[in-house]
Structure 1
Amino acid sequence: MRVMITIQHPGHVHFFRYPIVELRDRGHEVSVFARENDVAIDLLEAYDVDHEVLAGEPGSLVSLAAVQATYETRLLRRARRIDPDVIAAIGGVAAAHVSSVLRTKSVVFYDTEHATLIQRLGYPFADVICTPACYREEIGAKQVTYPGYHELAYLHPDRFEPDPAVLESAGLAPDDPFAVVRLSSWEASHDVGHGGFDDPNEVVDRLEDAGLAVLLSAEGEPPTALEDYQFSTPPDRIHDLLAYADVVLSEGATTAAEAAVLGTPAVYVNPLSLGYTRELDEEYGLLFEHDGEDRHVRGLERAVSIVDRSDDEWVQRRERLLDERIDVTNVVVRRIESIARAHGATESTPATNTG
């Protein structure tokens, strides 16, 4: 079967990395197309994923529409040539639009309830929309749910084992306690008007006072006073660091969830709660949401309090999560295959003469 996958964000590379390999191993033709965004292309190259770049990175939200239009136009041309059985994506605006024009099938994977612009542009044109069971919006007949999170497509222990060598590359000894701090750029369409920590400098100071080394990961340029805390580990090694950290503080939901499923307690400081961040907090106690006006203060207090708690506690909580949640790569592969198979059967069925 012929499968097209579109990549428009670094997180999409992680999510589709193993499904691409499995689909190709099962004999399917998989074509991967990408738009430049942060380190997305670097990750595709690091993971040795054959791909074609169709559009550059937008310089601002204003230019995003023009870049997206270019990407969709070029994707349509490739799709006409390939004649895919299914087009798969996260969010899936381009995939859903192109599949509608060609009358092929699309499957969209998504987990972000507050990204309403993407939903309005993509959902009406998609054939199947796959969401975690904790997704809080009802989409209708197109929706298929599964007991897992996007992050378990690439961080499930059947797929990922952290490499301790990353500690040396980050300037840490094996026994050094440390925290990873992730700052968002707040430039995504669904982030406009929101914010996380009031003062990143205070975050670093409090963590150092608690005896932790601090590794900073920032979208865009970090605050000038914190440039020395920015680490230079390759983007495909970030999950190794998250796995060995004592605590992760993040303004971004994805990084917080990645840490949580790895068994590292995560403090998520952001006014926007999601179905999966809420479940990881309330059901498994591996992620701690802090929103509201005092989110900065409460988030820091939570992070400092975590340092003195037993590692066994987080191991046990992760084991329970893994017992109840699945390897999401298996869901992705099965869903893509079933939709492609159904499309192929429809295409090969001769029309019935009812005259």
Structure 2
Amino acid sequence: MRYWFDILTPKQVNFFKPVIDELRKRKHEVFCTSRRYREVGRLAQLRGMDLAIIGEHGGESLHMKLKASAERVMELINEVEKFEPDVLASFSSPEAARVAFGLRIKHVGFNDSPHAEAVCRLSIPLMSKLMCPWIIPVKEFVKYGISEKSIIQYRALDPAMWLKRRLRYTNIDLDLDPSKNTITFRLEESKAAYQTKNIISHKLLNSLIKNFTDCNIVIVGRYSDQVEELKKRYDRDAIVLDDVVDGISLLMKTDIFIGSGGTMNCEASLLGIPNISYNMQDIAVNRFLVQKRVSYGYTSVNDVLKLVRRMLNDEKLIGSIKNNGQRLLAQMEDPMKKVIKVLEQVN
């Protein structure tokens, strides 16, 4: 069979890489597309993946988002028709969903973010099958127009796909002071359609830099313009990464991770690394991680500062998070078998 993967985020690179490798071992043909996005392109290189770059995101403006999406659909049509895939796999890519529907290509979709309403409304109704983590109630997706019988759950969070196997991680040199603990801070996805403007990242970051001069502070941006702004603000007081690095390798050098409630918070949780989410605390995955005591949510800047200090010094808490996270990952199934079965048998 011939499979088309539309890969739009670093998480999707990591999730789909082992799936693609397995499909090729089984003598299937695979074609991968993406759009212009610094993190995806660089991580794909690190993972040894060949992506056809088609179109771009469009940025924060609704007008530019719509225009970029429409243009990307037109560009995808030409490339996809040349490949003639039997099945599309995507993490709810609106453009890929529209092209697959128009060309009568089966679409196996993946989603752990029913809160991303715009993306869900534009993709889920057009899917043949939807696969998602078991902790998300199916009703959260049925409301977007897919039947319950078309939803397949796996008993794992998405990072289990790559954390349960050895991807090609890279050694990174951050020029850290080895005598200090390291706090890594990840900026929010400020251009995402689901993101609100009530963001406290800079207020929190300023307080961390002021109060933890005894720690290495590493700041990870998402977009080129975001990174440039970070360097102007913080380059004297923190390490601002201007190149894309492998997230797992970065977490392995991190004592505390503070993020916006996305994939790296989940990775840190399952690796047993103390972490705090300052955003998107009310989504299913983050509620689950907090409930399992492998992640902590934001309440106020002062409370976060107290919690960071405790996470640096309380050996009992550090050990508890490590044990809980590693046990939770061990209890999860490897999604690979179920994903391959659905991809090969979709009808």
Superposed counterparts of 1:132-171, under 5 Å:
132-136=133-137, 137-139=140-142, 140-156=148-164, 158-160=165-167, 165-166=171-172, 169-171=173-175
Distance apart, 1:100 and its partner CA? 1.3
SS of residue in 1 equivalent to 2:246: helix
Kindly indicate whether residue 251 of structure 2 is the aligned counterpart of residue 242 of structure 1: yes
Q: 1:148 to 1:72 in 2, by over 3 A?
A: same
Give the TM-score taking structure 2 as reference length. 0.87
Per-residue CA deviation, residues 44-90 of structure 1 (Å, 9 max, x unaligned), is 22222122111134243331111111222222222222221110001
Q: Distance in 1 between matches of 2:66 and 2:251?
A: 34
Distance apart, 1:179 and its partner CA? 1.0
Given residue 212 of structure 1, which amino acid in structure 2 is its aligned partner?
C
Match of 2:11 in 1: 11
Q: Distance in 1 between matches of 2:280 and 2:83?
A: 43
Match of 2:295 in 1: 287
Superposed counterparts of 1:215-254, under 5 Å:
215-219=218-222, 220=226, 221-222=229-230, 224-228=232-236, 229-232=238-241, 234-254=243-263
Match of 2:216 in 1: 213
Q: Distance in 1 between matches of 2:274 and 2:168?
A: 18
Q: Distance in 2 between matches of 1:264 and 1:275?
A: 20
Q: 1:178 to 1:227 in 2, by over 3 A?
A: same
SS of residue in 2 equivalent to 1:307: helix
Match of 1:54 in 2: 54
Q: Distance in 2 between matches of 1:333 and 1:235?
A: 29
SS of residue in 1 equivalent to 2:163: coil
Distance apart, 1:205 and its partner CA? 2.1
Given residue 135 of structure 2, which amino acid in structure 1 is its aligned partner?
C
Distance apart, 1:40 and its partner CA? 1.2
Distance apart, 1:13 and its partner CA? 1.5
SS of residue in 2 equivalent to 1:150: coil
Q: 1:257 to 1:207 in 2, by over 3 A?
A: farther
Match of 1:348 in 2: none
Match of 1:306 in 2: 311
Q: Distance in 2 between matches of 1:162 and 1:121?
A: 34
Contact 2:133 2:153 in 1 (8 A): yes
Match of 2:116 in 1: 115
Q: Distance in 2 between matches of 1:196 and 1:24?
A: 44
What is the aligned counterpart of 1:257 among 266, 289, 306?
Answer: 266
Q: Distance in 2 between matches of 1:173 and 1:23?
A: 43
Given residue 213 of structure 1, which amino acid in structure 2 is its aligned partner?
N
Q: Distance in 1 between matches of 2:289 and 2:48?
A: 32
The range that moved more, 226-235 or 131-140, is 226-235
User: Which portions of structure 1, spanning 4 or more consecutive aligned residues, are displaced by more than 4 angstroms?
Assistant: 160-163
Superposed counterparts of 1:333-352, under 5 Å:
333-339=340-346, 342=347
Superposed counterparts of 1:72-87, under 5 Å:
72-87=73-88
Q: Distance in 2 between matches of 1:241 and 1:183?
A: 15
SS of residue in 2 equivalent to 1:66: helix
Kindly indicate whether residue 339 of structure 2 is the aligned counterpart of residue 332 of structure 1: yes
Q: 1:161 to 1:36 in 2, by over 3 A?
A: closer
Contact 1:110 1:131 in 2 (8 A): yes
Give 5+ residue unaligned stretches, structure 2. 143-147
Given residue 218 of structure 1, which amino acid in structure 2 is its aligned partner?
G
Distance apart, 1:33 and its partner CA? 0.7
Match of 1:322 in 2: 329
Contact 1:10 1:38 in 2 (8 A): no
Given residue 3 of structure 1, which amino acid in structure 2 is its aligned partner?
Y
Match of 1:96 in 2: 97
Given residue 141 of structure 1, which amino acid in structure 2 is its aligned partner?
K
The size of the alignment, in residue pairs, is 330
